[in-house]
Structures are given as structure tokens and as C-alpha cells.
Amino acid sequence: MQSTAAVSISASSVATGGARSGAVRRAGGVRVSGLRGEASACPSLRISPVAPARLPVAKASTNGAVAGSGGFDYDLVIIGAGVGGHGAALHAVEEGLKTAIIEGDVVGGTCVNRGCVPSKALLAVSGRMRELHDEHHMKSLGLQVSSAGYDRQGVADHANNLASKIRSNLTNSMKALGVDILTGVGTIVGKQKVRYGKVGFPDKEITARNIIIATGSVPFVPKGIEIDGKTVFTSDHALKLESVPDWIAIVGSGYIGLEFSDVYTALGTLDQLMPGFDPEIAKLAQRVLINPRKIDYHTGVFASKITPAKDGKPVLIELIDAKTKEHKETLEVDAALIATGRAPFTKGLGLENINVTTQRGFVPVDERMRVMDADGNVVPNLYCIGDANGKLMLAHAASAQGISVVEQISGRDHILNHLSIPAACFTHPEISMVGLTEPQAREKADKEGFKVTVVKTSFKANTKALAENEGDGIAKLIYRPDTGEILGVHILGLHAADLIHEASNAIALGTRVQDIKFAVHAHPTLSEVLDELFKAAKVSSGLSHSVNEPVAA
């Protein structure tokens, strides 16, 4: 299969290669990006056909709904059936709460229909294609592959079928557990009162003891960028894989930019790099994921204007210097993917009816996800979770926040430790992280007056990685040498997205390095990369075990 190229454009860099500058096409790809992304299953996609043991006693109400406890129609109403809403709903019925979820579009929201799920299906294909095309890699394993190709529609169908399957799993799991799925757009019309129905004509009203807003986000498109859905498009369009352009510019080098650069470079096209990542990992990611691939990148620039292809003319991308705002270059490409972040979807929610003012569209919340009003007071019985509150735009974070809220309304206080929530970028190889980056840890240490130590291990020394001929990668631990507290862990390498959970669980449970270093790992497994990492750490005052205690061989 012929390989194509991409250009990545980022506020921190822009790539050209595959991009045409003037009339000349260059050999690489083009990507446009400003900065900081998944295609696995949904978080807390717990599907149980078993009905909950405890359901509140229900009684008939005047509007035809069945009343939950205390005269409300429901104990909990959730607006938005994305992964956040779904996670909250399942936990709520488990807790015996009479629960309804209102959805204005399709169940599953962004993650299932336009995000994690279809993108990971595409990445599963791109990973295999990349491997099959890597002659050197194949040869070193003793394999001979004469040719490898793909059928674009077949790949697109794989992503679409997976999304449909997970969507129906999500719907069935909620129905089986007794969650009422109400169709329509929800608007808060007063305290503990929601109306839903067609946009602008919400004709049905229900009351709820507690309300959770879980309305998610949509692609953010900067001013000056014209989307036509064919030559200039967002991830919503790109995931349908209606075409694989020869030369594509990816504007934004965050999660979406990086993951799509992996898809496009493997399927024939190209992408730029990640300001939100630990700088050392970002540098290595550039060396492994960008430099050897057909990707040109431009950093320190913004795409100020993008015009779709028209009348035989290519897509035009005007780049300005991120600092001086002076015009730098005009790129010509076949297509542009706009991956410049996401904006909360909170329009039409009726927040003005309850004195809540959004901040750049996000719903303000405290650490318990309780909505704050314009005067800084908690709005009783109203919560907001997931992308709509902007704390951490990740599927599993949305779901975890939902579960945390249900804990609270079930009478158990709960604060979610966001620093223990892992993130992963599903490139080949993968990148994952939890906690602080090294600069963030050093800044905190300076402020609070403690020391920070960093240790690293390499995939090159790991038997399993070498057996797979996948020795590229490192793991990095940032910790306090005085207490052994784990501040951050960053991994780039084979199955990094799965490996990170040992570290995130340790942070969540407060496990220190002087304790976790004695945990035993099966041999030969990739998990030994982390085993080595924890063993490499030196703690001055082992609080639990003695640091001098010999480590079992």
C-alpha cells in the first residue's frame, strides 16, 4: 500500500510534509496544532442484566410519572446519557435510587459515538497496518509478509459497528437495571425541576430530589476556520473515515491530533506534539511517533484562517506566529483535521433560571461536583460531571465523578482524587501518565519545601518487550525521597495504557514506593518495567518496610 503524509500544526508547532507550501508538495505530511487524548472501551461500562435488589417504593404522581421517595418523581435525574451519565445511573440504581436519564441525541454521547470507541477501533487497525508494513520488524521475528493492504470502507465499518454495539450494550444495561431513559433535550426550569422534549419545546416536566448535569462537550473550532465536513473537518467527521486524504494537516497536537496522526500515517496520510505531557516523554514521543514517520510539523504557530478546498483549489491554511501574531506561511493541503480542543455543551440548559453563570461555557463546580451559583454558593441538590465541568475531559473521569456524586447523595461523603486519574494516548507505542509532570512536581516542591527525585527504567531491559521486538520506551517515576510519596508516573511503550494502573491505584490508595517495591510481578511481563521502576527508588525514611530490607530475587 502506498503511504501518504501529514502535516501537524500546533500553537506549539506546525508540521509540513505532505503539505504544499506554495505550489510545491513536500514528501512528508502536514499537521497544525496548539497542544494536549483514546479508542478503548468506555469507562465503567458495567453491563449487568441483573435487576437491583433495592428499589425505592414508588407511587403514582400527577404527571403520569411514578413518584420516588419524598414526593419527587425521581430520586435522581441525569441530563445527558454519555459515559458520565451512564456511570452515575448504574451506580444510582445499585444504591436503590429511582433514576431517570434524559438524552437529546443518542445514548453513549461523545465517547461511544464520536470519541473513544470509534477512534480506538481505527487505532487497532492502524497499529496492525504499521506492524505489517515494518519489514525490519517482521524480518527480525522471522516473518515474511508479501503485502498488506486495507479496504477503507471495511475499516470504517469496523469503527461504526463497534460504536453501535457498545451503544446498544449501554442502553440495554440501563434498561435492564430499571433506569428510565427519557428522550428529548433537558432544561432546568427551577429548583429540582426539569423539562424535556423537542429543542425549544420541552413539553414534559419531572421533579427530582437530585439532578446531575452530564451534557458533555463538542469540538472547539477557533475563529477563522471554516468547516465544510469534507476537506476541513473535526474528529466528528474524521471518525467516519469517509476518505483518507493524501496530504492532511492536523491542527492541534493534543490527544486527538496525536492519535489521528497515528491513524493517518499508518493508513497512508499524516500530524504535532503535546504540551500537556511530561516534557521528557513528549520529546521521546516526538522521536518515536513523529520523526520516523511522514510527518512535517510546525510549532509555535497558530492556524489563523483555514479555507476549505473549492473549485480545484486546495485547502489553504494561514499560519501566524503564536507570540507576535505575524503571518508566517500559507500551507496548501488536501484536507485539514481541526483538533484544537473541545468546548462544553451547556447551551439551553436553563442555568440562568437558577442563578448559575457558566465560565467559558463550563459549569462551575466545587471538589464534590456541586454546582456553584453566581454568588459563589452551592446550589443544593445540583451537580455537574464530565466534560461539561471541564475538570478533566476524559471518559473515565466523567464516570468516576458520577459515581462520586451518587456516593454523596446516598449519604456517604466522597471526594474524588483527580491526581489519581490516569490518562492514555493510544498511539503505537502508547503513552500514559498519572499525577504530576516533572515540572509540576518541582514547582510544588519549591513552594512546599520538599525534595523531588526522578528514576527511570527502559523497555529495552524487559524480556517480554524484547520478545515482542518492542523495546522502544521508558517509564519514569517522580517521587518524594523523604516520604516515598508517588507524585507522578509517565510511561511510553508497548501497552503503556494498561501498565499505568498499578501506579494510579497506588496513588489513589496512598501506597508509598517503599511498600509497592515489595509487590511481586509475574515474569516475563511488561509489568516488570514498573517493578524495576519502584525498586530503583530510594527512600530516606522507609515508613512501612525498612528500605534496607533485602528485595527478594
Binding region for ligand FAD (CB under 6 A): 37-40, 79-85, 102-105, 109-111, 114-116, 119, 185-186, 214-217, 235, 256, 345, 348-349, 386-388, 393-396, 398, 426
Among residues 93, 211, 339, 507, the one that binds ligand NAD under rule CB under 6 A:
339
**Which strands form 474-479's sheet, in the order they lie side by side?**
423-425, 430-435, 486-493, 474-479, 453-458
- Phi–psi pair at 318, nearest 5 degrees: -95, 130
Smaller CB separation from ligand FAD, 9 or 425: 425
Query: Contact region for ligand NAD (CB under 6 A) — 27-35, 83-91, 185-193, 433-441?
Result: 27-35
Smaller CB separation from ligand FAD, 104 or 268: 104
Catalytic residue selected from 418, 428, 523, 545: 523
Spell out the residues 6+ positions from residue 462 whose beta carbon is closer than 8 angstroms to its own: 471, 524, 526, 528, 529, 532
Q: Measure the CA–CA gap between 45 and 547, rounded to whole angstroms.
A: 40
Beta strands at 99-103 and 301-307: parallel, antiparallel or unpaired: unpaired
Q: Measure the CA–CA gap between 456 and 461, rounded to whole angstroms.
A: 12
Give the type of residue at 362. F
Residue 82 interacting entry, from ligand NAD, ligand FAD, none, C-beta within 5 to 8 Å by type: ligand FAD
Residue 429 interacting entry, from ligand NAD, ligand FAD, none, C-beta within 5 to 8 Å by type: none
Contact status, residue 77 vs residue 194, Cβ threshold 8 Å: yes
- Phi–psi pair at 384, nearest 5 degrees: -135, 130
Among residues 171, 187, 253, 399, the one that binds ligand NAD under rule CB under 6 A:
253
Residue 398 interacting entry, from ligand FAD, ligand NAD, none, C-beta within 5 to 8 Å by type: ligand FAD
Contact status, residue 234 vs residue 226, Cβ threshold 8 Å: no
Pick from 379, 396, 460, 399: nearest CA to 210: 379
Q: How far is the CB of 414 from ligand NAD (least distance, A)?
A: 23
Q: How far is the CB of 221 from ligand FAD (least distance, A)?
A: 13
* Alpha-helical segments (H) within 334-432: 395-409
Residue 214 interacting entry, from ligand FAD, ligand NAD, none, C-beta within 5 to 8 Å by type: ligand FAD
| Cα–Cα distances in angstroms (integers) from residue 82 to residues 23, 112, 117, 388, in the given order | 44, 8, 12, 11
257 is in an annotated binding site: yes
What's the grid cell of residue 3? 503511504
21 is in an annotated binding site: no
- Phi–psi pair at 236, nearest 5 degrees: -55, -40
Residue 65 interacting entry, from ligand FAD, ligand NAD, none, C-beta within 5 to 8 Å by type: none
| Cα–Cα distances in angstroms (integers) from residue 546 to residues 30, 36, 96, 463, in the given order | 54, 40, 46, 29
- Phi–psi pair at 526, nearest 5 degrees: -65, -25
DSSP annotation of 313 reads B
Contact status, residue 257 vs residue 10, Cβ threshold 8 Å: yes
Q: Measure the CA–CA gap between 305 and 329, rounded to whole angstroms.
A: 11
Among residues 255, 277, 383, 459, the one that binds ligand NAD under rule CB under 6 A:
255
Pick from 493, 495, 494, 540: nearest CA to 513: 540
Q: Is 490 a catalytic residue?
A: no
Residue 67 interacting entry, from ligand FAD, ligand NAD, none, C-beta within 5 to 8 Å by type: none
Q: How far is the CB of 232 from ligand NAD (least distance, A)?
A: 13
Q: How far is the CB of 433 from ligand FAD (least distance, A)?
A: 12
Smaller CB separation from ligand FAD, 353 or 541: 353
Can residue 299 be called a binding residue for ligand NAD (CB under 6 A)? no
Query: What angle (nearest 5°) sits at the alpha carbon of residue 268, between those of residues 267 and 274?
Result: 80
What's the grid cell of residue 433? 501518565
Footprint of ligand NAD on residues 403-432 (CB under 6 A)?
423-426
Binding-site residue total for ligand NAD (CB under 6 A)? 32
Contact status, residue 117 vs residue 426, Cβ threshold 8 Å: no
Smaller CB separation from ligand NAD, 6 or 424: 424
Q: How far is the CB of 334 from ligand FAD (least distance, A)?
A: 21
Q: Measure the CA–CA gap between 77 and 85, rounded to whole angstroms.
A: 10
Query: Could you count the other beta carbons within 10 Å of the beta carbon of residue 360?
Result: 7
Q: How far is the CB of 255 from ligand NAD (least distance, A)?
A: 4
255 is in an annotated binding site: yes
Contact status, residue 507 vs residue 420, Cβ threshold 8 Å: yes
Can residue 256 be called a binding residue for ligand NAD (CB under 6 A)? yes
Footprint of ligand NAD on residues 143-202 (CB under 6 A)?
none
* Rg of the chain taking only CA atoms, in angstroms: 25
394 is in an annotated binding site: yes
Can residue 385 be called a binding residue for ligand NAD (CB under 6 A)? no
253 is in an annotated binding site: yes
Residue 297 interacting entry, from ligand FAD, ligand NAD, none, C-beta within 5 to 8 Å by type: none
Can residue 394 be called a binding residue for ligand NAD (CB under 6 A)? yes
Query: Contact region for ligand NAD (CB under 6 A) — 32-40, 451-459, 524-532, 538-546?
Result: 32-40
Q: How far is the CB of 499 from ligand FAD (least distance, A)?
A: 16
- DSSP 3-state of 31: strand
186 is in an annotated binding site: yes
Q: How far is the CB of 213 from ligand FAD (least distance, A)?
A: 8
Positions at the binding site:
120, 186, 215-217, 252-259, 341, 387, 393-396
Positions at the binding site for FAD:
120, 186, 215-217, 387, 393-396
Positions at the binding site for NAD(+):
252-259, 341
Residues that bind ligand NAD (CB under 6 A): 9-11, 32-38, 222, 251-257, 259, 275, 302-303, 339-342, 393-394, 423-426
Query: What residues are labeled active site?
Result: 523
